[in-house]
Amino acid sequence: MKKHIYLLLIASVAIWSCSKNDEEFLDRPSTSILTQEQIFSDPKTTLSVLADLYNRYYDFGTVEDWASLAGFNVAYWSEAGRYPEFQNDGWGYGAWGTWDYAYIREINLFLERCSEATELTEEDKTRFLAEARFLRASYYFEMVKRMGGVPLILESETYDFSGDASYLQHPRETEAAIYDFVISEAEALKDILPNDANTKSRATKGAVLAMQARAALYAASIAKYGATTPQVSLPGGEVGIPASRANEYYTKALEASEAIINGEAGGYGLYTKKPDLSENFSSIFYDKANNPEAIFVEDYLVGGGKTHGYTIVNQPRFGAEEEEGGRINPSLQFVQSFELLDGTYAPLENEVGGAPVYFDNIGDIFQGRDARLAGTVILPGSKFKSTDVDIWAGVVLADGSVVSGDSRGQQKELPGMTGQVQVVGFDGPIDGLEFTAQTGFYIRKYQDPATGSGRRGTQSDVWFIRYRYAEVLLNAAEAAFELNQPELAAEYLNDVRERAGLTVPLTAADVTFDKIVHERYVELAFEGLHFFDLKRWRLAHVILDGNPISPEEVTENIGVATKRETQPYNIWPYKYYNPGDANDGKWLYRINRLSRITGSDRFRLGNYYSEIGQGLINNNPKLVRNPNQ
């Protein structure tokens, strides 16, 4: 009987639950997925989609990946796992490639969906669309720099599952066409985007003009200097720009740069807030309050969920907030290329006629140079976060022999002395010991002086500057120089050089190609721009020619654009120990090459444009391979 009751109950439940409103009942809005309409009806949600697109912006160099800022032997990498980078002889053809059409597609989808939106205000919508177009142009710019001409896809495409995908296969545009696209998008967007110098991390008129200037300058120099390497081109123009277009692009570059310089995009200018010129220079990169120099940045926020570990991996090892740091060690060649204050080049004078020069203080050898040196590099005898660095390699005895240690700050007994004394700095340099200043230097640029920036639990929120005013000035100077206006070029160069403390202004006659190359090298080092400078001037295969650098040539030809850059050298401070001698306790310097550096980089012609993978060509046979690969 009990069984029957249960059956009856189940049957009744089954019957009652079948109401005719079933469909309505089950059709519930999702609580975890937003529909397209929901997103594009509210400016906040639309902005968060856009924020994702901003977040996926491609940078060649970024503070999130320290090695990307320090390549091409401008620095040695003081991390044991990275030594092989200095033991090989170059790069694969696929290096630096990028081919993210998924990103392009999502920007295209955003543009299509946002323009169909009905509930956004016209003002919001215009700005969102312009920003997305800026991001798309930025990525095409990034692709053309690395790959040459690429297929230009400006709307989202959908596969129809017909079994024939050939209508989705697009050939590569010419390199010039992609640059033209970037320049024309900038032209179209500059008057739509806000004219506001205080907006740094979203697209503004300043950002788009800076992009335009840079793109036009790159295109111009590829047109002009590409003529020296006719092998680096393709018959269809996918790589290489005709030399006849150089002037047109240089003119555009100058025009766009001058629009920023003349204040058309808001109050941008050089950062000159601090009296100490070196400190002033390093502050450009971490002072985020009313910084007139930064035009477009990737911003971070401690406590806001977006931080990076650049300071953790590069902080001076002695007194570091974690048991690591010191990875980027700028090379001797980089340090010596900073001019003396009167604008002349000079090697670091560690020897005269074979005899060592003795200095009273450890940092004296670096005195009297371009203020950007101490602003870019942590030199021996300088400070970081108000703490002295302890960079010295050992003790030199009267007979010239060296007493040193193989652990940081090691103590040993010196001849004629009882008890042990420290014979090597707590920051090294010790050959082969990672995180010590193996070239004798640490990097300062982009290091965050805030407490906790070197702690893994806190990290740093120093921004990464993609476009800054000094680069705009240098772009203008280069374009003016190439357009035969050396007076104008000198004027713009002098603006930048004056801030660096150089006392003798350049005259029109002083402005040469080598001077332009040099100025960009020292001003824009470790900002991810050096590589593209080498590429567009077609200098990469000249200075990275695969030959080792001899100790004699390393100090020669400073400031010459074609100076070999295949290996980084180091210069180490030593303390002189010779009681009774006048020089006892003074400092001397020795130039050397680290034992881990056994290779020398060779940039092959096929490296100028990254390889388009065989998989991509199989999927789309219309893609032409890049030359010399």
Partner 1 sequence: MKVKFYILALLVLAVSASCELDNFNEPDADFTGNIVYEGQAIPVARNQVRFELWQSGYGSPAPIDVAIAQDGSFSSRLFSGDYKLIFLPGEGPFRASSDTLYFNLSGNKTMDLNVTPYYMIRGAQFSQSSGTVSGTCGVDQIITGANGRAVERVTLVINRTQFVDTNSGGEGSIAQVDADLSDLSNLSMSVDIPEDAKKPDQDYIFARIGVKVEGIEDMIYTPVEKLNL
String marking each residue 484-523 x if it binds partner 1 according to CB under 8 A: ----------------------------------------
Angle 222-223-227 (CA atoms, 0-180°, nearest 5)? Answer: 95
Contact present, 171 and 149 (Cβ < 8 Å):
no
Please say which residue, 510 or 545, places its beta carbon nearer to partner 1. Answer: 545
Please say which residue, 35 or 550, places its beta carbon nearer to partner 1. Answer: 550
Please say which residue, 271 or 608, places its beta carbon nearer to partner 1. Answer: 608
String marking each residue 524-543 x if it binds partner 1 according to CB under 8 A: -----------------x--
Quick one: CA dihedral 335, 341, 343, 347, positive or negative? negative
Q: Which of 546, 583, 592, 624 binds partner 1 (CB under 8 A)?
A: 546
Please say which residue, 503 or 619, places its beta carbon nearer to partner 1. Answer: 619
Please say which residue, 91 or 392, places its beta carbon nearer to partner 1. Answer: 91
Q: Report 217-276 residues binding partner 1 (CB under 8 A).
A: 229-231
Q: State the pairing for strand pair 383-384/387-388.
A: antiparallel
**Residue 141 C-beta: closest distance to partner 1, Å:** 27
- The C-alpha torsion from 353 through 358 and 363 to 369, rounded to 10°, is -40
Taking CB under 8 A as the rule, does residue 194 contact partner 1? no
Q: Select the span of 21-29, 202-210, 462-470, 611-619 touching partner 1 (CB under 8 A).
A: 611-619
Please say which residue, 126 or 629, places its beta carbon nearer to partner 1. Answer: 629
**Which residues face 340 on adjacent strands?**
369
Taking CB under 8 A as the rule, does residue 547 contact partner 1? yes
Q: Which of 53, 192, 605, 624 binds partner 1 (CB under 8 A)?
A: 605
Which of 434, 521, 541 shows the shortest CA–CA distance to 86? Answer: 434
The count of chain residues that interact with partner 1, using the rule CB under 8 A, is 21
Which of 26, 29, 50 shows the shortest CA–CA distance to 39? Answer: 50
Q: Give me 394's structure tokens.
A: 């050992």
Q: Select the span of 387-395, 503-511, 581-589, 599-607 touching partner 1 (CB under 8 A).
A: 599-607
Residue 306 phi/psi, 5-degree rounding, is -130, 105
Contact present, 160 and 133 (Cβ < 8 Å):
no
Q: Is residue 352 helix, strand or coil?
A: strand
**Residue 229 C-beta: closest distance to partner 1, Å:** 8
Please say which residue, 29 or 615, places its beta carbon nearer to partner 1. Answer: 615
**Residue 333 C-beta: closest distance to partner 1, Å:** 17
Exposure string of 94-124, with b = 16+ CB inside 10 Å and e = fewer, is eebbebebebbebbbebbebbeebeebeeeb
Q: Report 365-394 residues binding partner 1 (CB under 8 A).
A: none
Contacts 24+ apart (CB under 8 A), 510-513: 510/343, 511/477, 511/481, 511/486, 513/481, 513/561
Contact present, 136 and 57 (Cβ < 8 Å):
no
Q: Which of 227, 288, 599, 624 binds partner 1 (CB under 8 A)?
A: 599
Q: Could you count the other beta carbons within 10 Å of the beta carbon of residue 245?
A: 17
Q: Could you count the other beta carbons within 10 Å of the beta carbon of residue 481?
A: 23
Taking CB under 8 A as the rule, does residue 602 contact partner 1? yes
Contact present, 216 and 249 (Cβ < 8 Å):
yes
Q: Report 143-172 residues binding partner 1 (CB under 8 A).
A: none
Taking CB under 8 A as the rule, does residue 115 contact partner 1? no
Please say which residue, 158 or 614, places its beta carbon nearer to partner 1. Answer: 614
**Residue 628 C-beta: closest distance to partner 1, Å:** 5
User: What residues make contact with partner 1 under the rule CB under 8 A?
Assistant: 89, 229-231, 541, 546-548, 566, 598-600, 602, 604-605, 614-615, 618, 627-629
